[in-house]
């Protein structure tokens, strides 16, 4: 089994999404046997913005297609995803490879993979909260993976900017979720 580990936080060792994605990887490594982990850090080795020329290079797509499980650390920046992660998405959502259009509309071609996403957000974005309409991270990632045929699983650490106590409690709760996910 091949696990692809993607991180996109600019916060280095202080990053909640990196802490959570690492925990998920650790859990998967103890739960499974014979895994190979491929790591792609989109901050230390950023992908350039998409250009037409970039379509000729399929290495990022091939790496994604080769993975059985994909674990993604995804912080919320300005209500959405980091541009580093968007540049990666731009290379895996490819017509004829991960989706195609049929007479009945678009169809995902990347099904059969497990995708686990560790979200870290400064505020709260529950359905009934005042900020719910500004949530474009989880909704975007769910939409884009659904589009290519995958139902992603989420671990969420929210309210991280509210107070140090809230941050500690949210990360602790989310770390507990990572154990449940990998079980």
Ligand X SMILES: Cc1cc2nc3c(=O)[nH]c(=O)nc-3n(C[C@H](O)[C@H](O)[C@H](O)COP(=O)(O)O)c2cc1C
Q: Which residue number, 76 or 144, has a Cβ lying nearer to ligand X?
A: 76
For residue 21, state whether it binds ligand X (rule: CB under 6 A): no
Q: What span, in angstroms and rounded, lies between the C-alpha atoms of 33 and 179?
A: 17
d(CA 149, CA 147): 6
Should residue 77 be labelled a site residue for ligand X when binding is judged by CB under 6 A? yes
9 near ligand X (CB under 6 A): yes
Q: Does 24 bind ligand X (CB under 6 A)?
A: no
Q: 85-124 mask for ligand X (x: CB under 6 A)?
A: -----------------------------------xxxx-
Q: Which of 1, 11, 66, 173 binds ligand X (CB under 6 A)?
A: 11
Binding residue numbers for FMN: 9, 15-17, 76-79
Which residues make up the interface to ligand X (CB under 6 A)? Answer: 9, 11, 15-18, 75-79, 120-123, 160-161
């Amino acid at each position: 089994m091949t696990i692809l580990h993607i991180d996109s936080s600019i916060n280095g060792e202080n990053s909640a999404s990196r802490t959570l994605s690492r925990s998920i990887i650790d859990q998967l490594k103890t739960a499974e046997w014979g895994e190979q982990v491929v790591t792609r850090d989109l901050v230390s080795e950023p992908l350039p913005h998409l250009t037409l020329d970039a379509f000729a290079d399929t290495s990022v797509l091939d790496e994604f297609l080769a993975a059985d499980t994909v674990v993604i650390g995804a912080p919320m920046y300005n209500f959405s995803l980091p541009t580093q992660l968007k540049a990666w998405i731009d290379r895996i959502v490819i017509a004829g490879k991960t989706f195609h259009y049929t007479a009945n509309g678009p169809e995902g071609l990347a099904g059969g993979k497990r995708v686990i996403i560790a979200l870290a957000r400064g505020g709260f974005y529950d359905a009934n909260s005042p900020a719910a309409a500004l949530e474009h991270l989880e909704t975007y990632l769910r939409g884009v993976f659904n589009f290519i045929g995958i139902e992603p699983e989420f671990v969420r650490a929210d309210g991280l900017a509210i107070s140090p106590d809230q941050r500690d409690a949210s990360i602790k709760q989310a770390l507990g979720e990572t154990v449940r996910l990998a079980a």
